Amino acid sequence: MPGTEIILAWQFPTSLLSQPIASSVRWFQAMGAGVNDLAADKTIPKKITITRIVDQFGTYISEYVMTFLLDIVKNGARMRKSQDVKKWDPFLSDTLKGKTIGVAGLGSIGAEIVRKARVFDMNVYGLSHSGKNAALVDIHFVPNQWKEFVRELDYLVLILPLTDSTYHVVNKELLLEMKPSACLINVGRGALINESDLLTVMHSGHLHAAVLDVFETEPLPKEHDFWSMQNVFVTPHLSGPSTIDDVSSYFIKNLQLYMNNQPLHGLVDRHRGY
């Protein structure tokens, strides 16, 4: 640590950064997009600039979302089950065309999900704080309009960062505003959803399915009900991978900016939380 000015890391022991051995550190580059833990970490001196990875996960996460939307709407589970038992079972499947998808979070990832949803002729609603990408969607909502936002949705996709204002923003009250036939997809942060409320609502038969890639506790405990629910799809936080090539390329470009005393990409606003 002595003499170190720049850190590129994942799950770094940040308590070290407030100690004398880290007095030379000026910039911390995280390897992922979610940095709510770093933003809230009081042991990181304010003099240290924190940056996160941005504009790299849209392709991966949008493909993940569309994979599950298509599997659900085409009833892939029924087709796989029929093949397992060697049953010839023709049926009429549904289509994404004309369905309404709501994208909560319209940054680079949300924008790519919107683009792919357009290819499938879906209606697209969006919710964001800044509204800078409001033109991408058919109807735009702001955070004080959550109930209006979710009421007509067939699919709600969460890509929001975790902040004080988004913690458990999806709770029982909001879930019951959604159509019973709607599906919930979370590729943002686990704590965006009150998981206890989601379990209660889904056990009651309200909501068709939930696709969950992120959870409040990771790995998801083996005794958790989500594992055994037929209409819940559990994946191990894999929708937006940080690959060696992509992270390295991003860091090198940021390093060049740093060396030239230019503004860095992915600057984290600690007050905002991302």
Catalytic residue numbers read: 189, 218, 237
DSSP strands (E only) in the chain: 6-9, 27-30, 49-51, 100-104, 123-127, 139-141, 155-158, 183-186, 209-212, 232-234
CB 172 within 8 A of CB 194: yes
Q: Give the Cα separation of 188 and 206 in Å (integer).
A: 22
Number of other CB atoms surrounding residue 162 within 10 Å:
24
- Please name the amino acid found at residue 33: A
Structure tokens at 129: 């704080």
- DSSP letters for 144-179: GGHHHHHTT-SEEEE-PPP-TTTTT-B-HHHHTTS-
Spatial CB neighbours of 148, under 8 Å, sequence gap ≥ 6: 141
> Pairing state of beta strands 209-212 and 27-30?
unpaired
Nearest to 210 by CA among 188, 190, 182: 182
